[in-house]
């Protein structure tokens, strides 16, 4: 079989998120192995099977996996389903594993634009700033929507003679007016997510936010739904900032 993987190399280098591999396997199967369009309910139902299969290969050591820094994790292991988002595989290891199974993974680099801003470390209860500029937030035009990087080096906003990423001019300290919201993109996404949840439940599936964000991210690209910054939100960004936790409640 031939599978397509889409990865932002600017962020991941030569490692590939294991969930991306599982998603490629599930999508290919849900499309009749490339014969038809992807069938959403089928994809939701078979995705857990492909996740479990990859984790079994990782736990046994047949498929060498690593962490986000590329450090190999020694087998045997006992990775659970919830841990797949923290597991990665090096491109060469995936190629070797696929070849042994008679498969091929074609890896495509997603073009990326990077916007770096500062964000503060805050007390989650009071909202009080504990340390200003503690994180560097990297927004991308493809792949994961954000990465949090502990910032030891000064951010652009702290360097003299440069424009602050937080919206202040370095020479004067005068705050710029925040950009006006140009569209209700979050509401559009939440309406689509609600519709998907209802359809999936009606078909007998048990959807979760984690199981639909990949499809919703694709829907955003297909329907030209962008953030106020003009980028397509990724699955991880949607799960964290649009459909997760306090942002949205799935329909009962």
Which of 12, 36, 162 lies closest to 88 in space, CA to CA? 12
Task: Give the chain's domain count.
Answer: 3
Q: In sequence order, what are the beta bridge partners of 168?
A: 175
Task: Give per-residue pLDDT as tens, 85-122.
Answer: 889 999 999 999 999 988 888 888 776 555 555 667 77
For residue 123, give Cα distances in angstroms to 27, 127, 147.
40, 5, 20
Q: In sequence order, what are the beta bridge partners of 5?
A: 107
164 and 189 within one domain: no
105 and 6 within one domain: yes
- Asked whether 205 and 189 are in contact (CB, 8 A), the reply is no
- Whether 188 shows a pLDDT value over 70: the answer reads yes
133 and 210 within one domain: no
Q: Per the confidence metrics, is the pTM higher than 0.75? A: no
Tokens of residue 36, six digits? 């038809």
Q: In which residue are the tokens 């801003």 written? A: 117
226 and 204 within one domain: yes
Domain of residue 64, residue span: 2-109
Structural domain contains residue 207: yes
209 and 155 within one domain: no
Please report, for the chain, how many H helices and E strands are present, in that order: 7, 9
Structural domain contains residue 16: yes
pLDDT at 136: 53
- Whether 169 shows a pLDDT value over 50: the answer reads no
Q: In which residue are the tokens 């797949």 written? A: 84
- Above pLDDT 90, what percent of the chain? 20
d(CA 77, CA 43) in angstroms, rounded, equals 27
For residue 211, give Cα distances in angstroms to 31, 50, 121, 179.
17, 13, 29, 33
């Amino acid at each position: 079989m031939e599978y397509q993987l889409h990865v932002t190399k600017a962020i991941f280098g030569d490692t590939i998120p294991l969930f991306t591999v599982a998603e490629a396997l599930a999508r290919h199967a849900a499309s009749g192995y490339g014969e038809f369009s992807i069938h959403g309910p089928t994809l939701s139902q078979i995705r857990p099977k492909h996740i479990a299969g990859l984790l079994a290969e990782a736990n046994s050591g047949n498929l060498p996996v690593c962490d986000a820094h590329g450090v190999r994790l020694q087998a045997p292991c006992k990775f659970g389903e919830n841990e797949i988002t923290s597991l990665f595989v090096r491109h060469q290891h995936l190629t070797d594993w696929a070849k042994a199974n008679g498969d091929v993974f074609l890896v495509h680099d997603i073009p990326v634009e990077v916007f770096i801003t500062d964000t503060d470390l805050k007390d989650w209860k009071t909202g009080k700033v504990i340390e200003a500029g503690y994180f560097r937030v990297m927004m991308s035009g493809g792949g994961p929507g954000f990465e949090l990087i502990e910032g030891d080096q000064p951010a652009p906003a702290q360097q003299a003679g440069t424009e602050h990423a937080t919206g202040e001019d370095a020479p004067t300290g005068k705050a710029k007016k925040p950009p006006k919201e140009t569209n209700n993109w979050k509401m559009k996404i939440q309406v689509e997510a609600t519709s998907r949840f209802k359809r999936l439940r009606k078909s007998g599936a048990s959807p979760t936010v984690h199981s639909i964000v990949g499809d919703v991210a694709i829907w955003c690209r297909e329907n030209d739904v962008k953030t106020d910054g003009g980028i397509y939100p990724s699955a991880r960004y949607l799960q964290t900032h649009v459909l997760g936790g306090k942002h949205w409640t799935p329909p009962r």
